[in-house]
Amino acid sequence: MRNPITIVLLCAALSACQAVPQDLKPVWTQTGKPAACAAAPYSFKVTPLEAFLIARESRGLSWKHHWHLYADSKYYYVHDIFLGDGPRRAFRQGLRIDGKTGEIQYRRESQ
């Protein structure tokens, strides 16, 4: 039988191994919704404001909290900053929205 502490540490180490993309950058980290004139990242068709509105309409995040937007080469990551902020947290916990189609990309349960 394995030591419970060893199992917890192993699980924590494996979940932290999910690499954050090198090109993940903040797009909108201010209070409120993005400005209508905020430009979409290169190769995206969906603007930051549109991604924000898609997230709001999905009701996947609390309206009571502030949200930040991050983006890599393919997705926006809309992240509720109530318990903390940063690229790693946005990548792992944020609502993922395709930057070209505007569709929400749900994560598999195993991730």
pLDDT beyond 50 at 111 = no
- Give percent of the chain above pLDDT 90: 33
The arithmetic mean of pLDDT across residues 35-57, rounded, is: 92
Residues contacting residue 63 through CB under 8 Å, at least 6 positions apart: 56
The model's pTM is 0.76
Confidence band, pLDDT 50/70/90 cuts, at residue 18: low
Confidence band, pLDDT 50/70/90 cuts, at residue 56: confident
Q: Measure the N-to-C terminal CA separation of the chain; round to a whole number of Å.
A: 26
Per-position b or e across 95-105, b if 16+ CB within 10 A of its CB:
bbbbbeebebe
Tokens of 7: 């199992």
Confidence band, pLDDT 50/70/90 cuts, at residue 40: very high
Task: With beta carbons less than 8 A apart as the criterion, state whether 67 and 55 touch.
Answer: yes
pLDDT beyond 50 at 110 = no
Tokens of 15: 């979940």
